[in-house]
Amino acid sequence: MFSIIEVRTMPFPVQVRIEHLTGHQCRISPLRGERCIGTGAWRMQDGGEVPCPFCPERIPTDTPLFPSGERVCVGESVTFPNMYPFSAFHIVTVITRSHAPGPFSIRQIADALAAQWSVLGEVQGYASINWNHLSSAGASMPHPHMQGIADPEPTAYTRRCLEGGARYREKTGKNYWETFIESERSGPRHIFGSEVPWCAHPVPLGEKEIRAYLPTGALSEAEPYIDTLASGLHRVIGFYRERGHCAYNVALRFDREHSGGDFRAFLSIIARVNPTPAGTSDSAFMERLHSEPVLFTIPEDLPLLFADRR
């Protein structure tokens, strides 16, 4: 389901990996990990003097309401329409009352996910639940928040997954996702979880990518797994933190309702460089202009790193 090409660079070889389902390609250069770009010590930055519209005292005046005249509150999370949407339907869920960038409890993550679920469940199209954590991961607001989007068409990578799965079905008569998830569940990249397995992805979209696969495709059918996803996400975020990564991106993508397709909803999380005064980015010409991320952790090493946790 993927291939590896060893490129003989000096002093260490680089792997080029290609995912057959999507055509996605990445490079893995373990040597780059030794540079420790943007990991290690990172001090929490506060909001400074700028008033934060996501802090509890400002949400009622500074954030929009749904057409119903309300915001959706689940636990301490608050959900409202995005003021600057880039999707047909685009919502924001402020995860915590606290402005601090974590740590988060499983309950806080589960409540924010449940809020996204309840609002996205009301709209048509291809939905996803996303989270940019910290400025270096693209968060424009430091106050922790998730974003849900839904559009009549899938995003580019989701489309490649859906079309790749349809091609696989045509060629083999089998469900790509069932076949793939079954082999990952018992393979060298499995980290934890059985019904919802969490596995290092063989051809990562970003550093230390870990995916969780749900046994179902559409948002409405996946609702019973909110707590499982929240506790898994909590474990992976803790693992990232121990490895020196405070910033990350998350995407949980779904098929549309009643598609009759083979797709299985899955969550991806990737580690990002930490915010630095120099503004160092891990998104450079290879990532942005060649669509080919350069990473430093071999996916098959991730389960060992995870097992080594203190």
**How far apart (Å, rounded) are the C-alpha atoms in residues 188 and 29?**
19
Report the nearest approach of Zn ion to the CB of residue 96 (Å): 9
Give me the phi and psi of 306, to 5 degrees please: -65, -40
- 56 cis-preceded (ω within 30 degrees of 0): no
State the residue for tokens 């990564």.
245
**Which residue has the CB atom at the shortest distance from Zn ion?**
52
Taking alpha carbons only, the member of 152, 133, 136 closest to residue 251 is 133
Question: Which CB sits closer to Zn ion, 52 or 222?
Answer: 52
Question: Which CB sits closer to Zn ion, 56 or 261?
Answer: 56
Report the nearest approach of Zn ion to the CB of residue 201 (Å): 32
Report the nearest approach of Zn ion to the CB of residue 99 (Å): 3
Question: Which CB sits closer to Zn ion, 137 or 161?
Answer: 137
Find residue 25's DSSP bridge partners: 18
Where would I find the H helices in the chain?
A: 59-62, 106-120, 156-172, 176-185, 226-242, 285-288, 302-307
Indicate the burial class of 258 (C-beta count within 10 angstroms; 0-12, 13-18, 19 or more): exposed
Question: Which CB sits closer to Zn ion, 16 or 55?
Answer: 55
State the residue for tokens 């707590």.
227
Question: Rule CB under 5 A: which residues touch Zn ion?
Answer: 52, 54-55, 99, 143
Report the nearest approach of Zn ion to the CB of residue 131 (Å): 16
Question: Which CB sits closer to Zn ion, 143 or 272?
Answer: 143
DSSP class of 204: -
Indicate the burial class of 228 (C-beta count within 10 angstroms; 0-12, 13-18, 19 or more): middle
Question: Which CB sits closer to Zn ion, 38 or 142?
Answer: 142
Report the nearest approach of Zn ion to the CB of residue 95 (Å): 11
Q: Is 27 in contact with 16 (CB distance < 8 Å)? A: yes
Report the nearest approach of Zn ion to the CB of residue 54 (Å): 4
